[in-house]
Amino acid sequence: MEPKVITLTVNGRKHQVALPPNITLLRALREYLHYTDVKNGCEKGDCGACTVILNGKAVNSCLVLAWQADGGEILTVSGLGTTSNPHPIQEAFADTGAAQCGFCTPGMVLAAKALLDENPHPTEEEIREAISGNLCRCTGYGPIVEAIQIAAERLAEGGQK
Amino acid sequence: MKYKAKPLPPVNLPELRVVGKPLRRVDALGKSVGATIYADDFSLPGMLYAKVFRSTVPSARIKRLDVSKARALPGVACVITHAELPQAVLVTDMPGQTGQKRRAGSDAHVLAKDVVRFVGDPIALVAAETLDIAEKALKLIEVEYEPLPAVFDPLEAMKPGAPIVTPPDNIVSKYKVRRGNVQAGFEAADLIVENTFNVQFVDHIYLEPESGVAWVDDRGVVNIRVCTQVVEHFRSIALALGVPHNKVHIQGTMVGGGFGGKEDITVEIFIGLLALATRRPVKLTYTREESIMAHSKRHPYVITHRTGVTRDGRITAAEIKLIADSGAYVYLSPYVLLYSVGTATGPYRVDNLSIDAYAVATNQVFTSAFRGFGAPQAIFAAECQMDDIAQKLGMDPYEFRCRNYLKTGDIGVNQQIKSAAWLEETASRALEALGEKTPAHGHIKVGQGFASYMQSYGRIMWFHDTSQAWVGLELDGTVVIRSGIPDLGAGQVSAVCQIASELLGVPLDKVQIYHTDSALTPLAGTSTATRQLYMSGNAVHQAASNLRKVLLERASKDLEEDPANLDMADSKVFVKSNPEHFMPLTELLAKCASEGIHLSNLAIFRAPFTSPIDPENVQGDIWPDFTFGAMAVEVAVDTETGEVTVLKSVACHDVGRAVNPKAVAGQIEGGAVQGIGYALMEDCMIKEGYIQAQTLSEYLIPTAVDVPKTKVIILESGTGVGPFGAKGVGEPAITPAAPAVANAVSNAIGVRIKSLPITPEKVLEALESLKQKEKVG
């Protein structure tokens, strides 16, 4: 099939890009639009490193075809915050040591964001369940769970972000 | 409470301003917002994409290799086979730092010449305009194999007449230890216990697959931007590329996890060759499947212990045999094996000791470094053996260990223990914190177990290990560190920033480190062997201390005080007894600059040097020091499904001094969980040379719902040889986990499972055998 021009709104920026039908959202974001903050850990939906928020839901971007996301709103970790203006979840990840090698972190942070958007006061069990599709090989998960708990508290105190 | 924490000996650790504080790591925020640019995140204009054509059979002669159709495919820029590189040698058994003499047969070809030795052996390289074209080109490569006899079991490979993987023979390394009088020791024993333990092939599963970009610049320098644990590989890479050492420039990235799997050369030579051939930038990133197929694994071992003990629980003799599977190429097997020898007894005094250790080649994926480097396998066997002996003696397993733990001044397997050996201190705390056993209910049995360990940190001393660091002050009072340290995510660069911040009295956020560059940052050695804080921490300590001395001497003129009475903090130099009497650092720096006083220092830290040991009797100093600690866990075993769940986990280590306690806790907790994965679920499952667990849905590692939070207890004896008395802990963190889990499972079900991983199948089988035994009994 021929490439088709699709529209992807990424971190508030609107992109029109011609893509063949077999290109995943992960490849569209990394290779065509250069959002390299979205990580590729397996391309099979097993590791969660490529998690983005598509229309409000956390998805493995390697399991979504770019055409399926046509017209969609996508949030990547660099759209959530920057070093000069980090989101409370990102601050909390930095504070607790939740990012060691940092390669799972973009996906983890977005899984946490999707969770807290839906459930602002999750239990530890709910947090562990929410990130169970995101593999981390460095931390043993404890500091990540702690970061999400701290972020939930800070968001509750500081209001919306 | 059954176990009580043993009181700690008095320790005098000075309170410091920055070191010892749980600060946010310097790399943490960048990673949390996705700003860190990893190896695959980098591209250059006109870049080509590479793929590797690999063997699909474990042992064969290449009868015919035809790449003409691949070369003819539009968009293919280059195809390279062995025919194009007759001289390209891959040095497989030493990081290119120290020029050690290598065993005959340990250098491989970069691309297979006429024989392939494992499934995944590289045969040809392709570079194309797009990844899709490169993938298409791979499918056009034609190869015809003539199968050769293969061997997949190290015990088989040791037998006369076995297929030889690479001449001269399959024994790639061997060591012996002969101490005391083993025969007399066994004669003095009341009980002799013999067990054989097996451990499996496991993969590092760092989240970031291997990746790099290479380009040849305007002066003919081959630049390689890559995720690696060893920038010093530039020498071996230069050898393989046929260029001088000073024409290879490694730009190391922040590494998305290494654990030893990025210690050997991965993509560097491949992309270097393609960049030289095409004169265009080339990127190569492995898929997860290729990563699992192509990189090293942890050595499987068969370990047999025969131990003599007296009725009151004293070890009188031990005979230990270790056989490691080195896979198809040597890589670091001789050294991994040596580390296993050094920890084979566990942290116990065994005066009558015999060890025979072999690393043996097979036609399977090669094995090399993996966190712990031979110690986790050896400690697994030793600690299961100790538990088994205690049970047979009818003694408490902690009590039995206490009678045999090494003490400072004792000789371990090969060398004297010089630093604090806090074995009772760590084990008693882990056990105390584990608390009472959760009650069993119905078909759910509950068990508790623990394991102690010792493990070296720092490289083998005859490697003459060094690390360099350059520390300088800018005129605005900020600090620059230049050091070749690779950061794998363990906080290697942040820790040395904290050290410079402490010594120069400059806040951590005013310290900037430039790192991991073979040409622009002084070489700091490998991020391996739990050596980076020890070695580069000492190098930064030395450089910053030298600089501090110069600054205090100059400040003493203005402050009219002896330099010994001055201190530095908050970007000021002040009089210790009267902090109000101070000089701003910027003022001091301006004076130094105008007087031509040098504001930087390059230091080299040298680990102690020794001569190589005699492999026929491994005795004498091999490692600079050891770390000691313990883990205790509680498991629930479902006797209907065989499933094991870890309910509680406690780790207690003496880290000497925690430069950043939060980072240290992160290492310990992460290591514990990696070790629990090793114990319960991880396995490459290699059948006839083929890895069955080829993806992350088949190769399972712990997820957030598989493990509890590991409680971390950090002890600080201050007796390490690292900066401020620190010991290495990154690698040791994994070591006690698997035997602690195995001992807990045994405690729960009353039967010992002697091979990893402890799968539900093995648990059910063990329960069945117990049932049969009870019937017969």
Q: Are B163 and B148 in contact (CB under 8 A)?
A: yes
Rounded distance between C-alpha atoms, residue A149 and residue A89, angstroms: 9
Quick one: chain A helix, strand, coil %, rounded to 5? 40, 15, 40
Residue A20 sits in the same domain as residue A46: yes
CATH code where residue A40 lies: 3.10.20.30
Nearest CA in chain B to A38: B34
Q: Which two tokens stand for residue B65?
A: 């290799």
How far is the C-alpha of A160 from the C-alpha of B327, rounded, in Å? Answer: 55
The beta-carbon neighbor of B703 closest among A39, A95, A132 is: A132
Whole-model pTM? 0.97
pLDDT number for residue B661: 98
Q: Which residues of chain B make contact with A131, given a CB cutoff of 8 A? A: 704
A37: chain B residues, CB-CB within 8 Å: 33-35, 41
pLDDT digits (tens, 9 = 90+) for B171-202: 999 999 999 999 999 999 999 999 999 999 99
Q: Determine the pLDDT at residue B103.
A: 67
Contact between residue B348 and residue B372 where contact means Cβ atoms under 8 Å apart: no
A60/A91 same-domain check: no
Alpha-carbon distance B347 to B356, whole Å? 18
- Residue B106 is predicted with a pLDDT of 72
Are B62 and A112 spatial neighbours (Cβ–Cβ below 8 Å)? no
Residue A71 has pLDDT above 90, yes or no: yes
Instruction: Chain B: give the shortest CA distance to residue A50, in Å.
Output: 11
Predicted pLDDT at B98: 47
When computed from its CA atoms, the radius of gyration of chain A, rounded to whole angstroms, is: 16
A73 plus A111 within the same structural domain:
no
Total structural domains within chain A: 2
A79, A98, A128: which is the final residue of a domain?
A79
3-state secondary structure at position A7: strand
Instruction: Test A102 with B665 for CB contact under 8 angstroms.
Output: no
**pLDDT score for B90:** 83
What mean pLDDT is reported for chain A? 97
**Amino acid identity, residue B587?**
E
Instruction: Clarify whether residues A58 and A101 are in a common domain.
Output: no
CB-based contact (8 Å) between B147 and chain A? no
| Chain A CB contacts of B36 below 8 Å | 102
- For residues A51 and A75, state if they share a domain: yes
pLDDT tens per residue, range A5-61:
999 999 999 999 999 999 999 999 999 999 999 999 999 999 999 999 999 999 999
DSSP string, B21-52: S-PPPTTHHHHHTT----GGG---TT-EEEEE
* Residues listed for chain B: 777
Q: How does pLDDT run across B249-300, given as a tens digit for each residue?
A: 999 999 999 999 999 999 999 999 999 999 999 999 999 999 999 999 999 9
> Within the 452-481 window of chain B, which residues sit less than 8 Å (CB to CB) from chain A?
none
DSSP assignment string, B648-660: EEEEEEE-SS-SS
Report helix angle B737-749 to B375-393, nearest 10.
Answer: 30
Residues with Cβ within 8 Å of B603's Cβ and at least 6 positions away in sequence, in order, are B468, B469, B470, B471, B539, B540, B542, B543, B546
What's the angle, vertex CA B592, arms to CA B588 and CA B597, rounded to 5?
A: 145
pLDDT, tens digit (0-9, with 9 covering 90-100), for B559-575? 999 999 999 999 999 99
With contacts defined as CB-CB under 8 Å, which chain A residues touch B516? Answer: none
Clarify whether residues A97 and A138 are in a common domain.
Answer: yes
Is residue A66 located within the same domain as residue A12?
yes
Q: Of A33, A54, A79, which residue constitutes the final position of a domain?
A: A79
Residue-number span of the structural domain to which A143 is assigned: 81-158
Say whether residue A15 is in contact with chain B using an 8 A CB cutoff.
no
User: Is the Cβ pair A99, B28 closer than 8 Å?
Assistant: yes
Distance to chain B for A94, nearest Cα, Å:
5
Interface contact A11, partner B, CB < 8 A: no
User: Considering A79, A95, A113, which residue would you say is the last residue of a domain?
Assistant: A79
Which secondary structure element, helix H or strand E, spans residue B198, and what is its range? Answer: strand B191-199
- Please report the residues numbered 635 through 674 in chain B whose beta carbons come closer than 8 angstroms to any beta carbon of chain A: 662-663, 665-666, 669-674
Cα–Cα dist B331/B94, whole Å: 7
H or E element: which one contains B690? Answer: strand B690-691
Indicate whether A93 and A153 sit together in one domain: yes
Q: A48 and A60 share a domain?
A: yes
Size of interface A-B (CB pairs under 8 A): 184
B776 touches chain A (CB under 8 A): no
A101 touches chain B (CB under 8 A): yes
CB contact (8 A) between residue B34 and residue A46: no
ipTM here: 0.98
Structure tokens at B431: 């056990």
Spatial separation of the C-alpha atoms in residues B704 and B109, rounded to whole Å:
42
Per-residue CA distances from B232 to B251, B257, B263 (Å): 11, 18, 10
Closest CA to A93 of B486, B533, B27, B729: B27
The verdict on A54 and A87 lying in the same domain is: no
What CATH number should be reported for the domain holding residue A95? 1.10.150.120
Query: What was the pLDDT predicted at B97?
Result: 46
Residue B308 bridge partners (DSSP): B192, B317
**Is the domain of A105 the same as that of A126?**
yes
Is residue B491 exposed (0-12), middle (13-18) or buried (19+ Cβ within 10 Å)?
buried
Residue B262, pLDDT score: 97
Segment (H or E) for B335: helix B333-342
Tell me if the bond preceding B757 is cis, omega within 30° of 0: yes
Burial degree of A116 (CB within 10 A; 0-12, 13-18, 19+): buried
Residue ranges of domains in chain B, CATH in brackets = 39-148+210-285 (3.90.1170.50), 301-460+612-776 (3.30.365.10), 466-606 (3.30.365.10)
The verdict on A131 and A71 lying in the same domain is no
Average pLDDT of adjacent 10-residue blocks, chain B of 777 residues: 92 95 98 98 98 98 98 98 87 56 74 96 98 98 98 98 94 95 98 98 98 98 98 93 96 98 97 98 98 98 98 98 96 94 98 97 97 98 98 98 98 98 98 97 97 97 94 98 98 97 98 98 96 98 98 98 98 98 98 97 96 93 98 98 98 98 98 98 98 98 98 98 98 98 98 98 97 85
Distance (Å) from the alpha carbon of A147 to chain B's nearest alpha carbon: 11
Least Cα separation, residue A11 to chain B (angstroms): 13
Distance CA A74, CA B439 (A): 48
Helix (H) or strand (E) holding B570: none
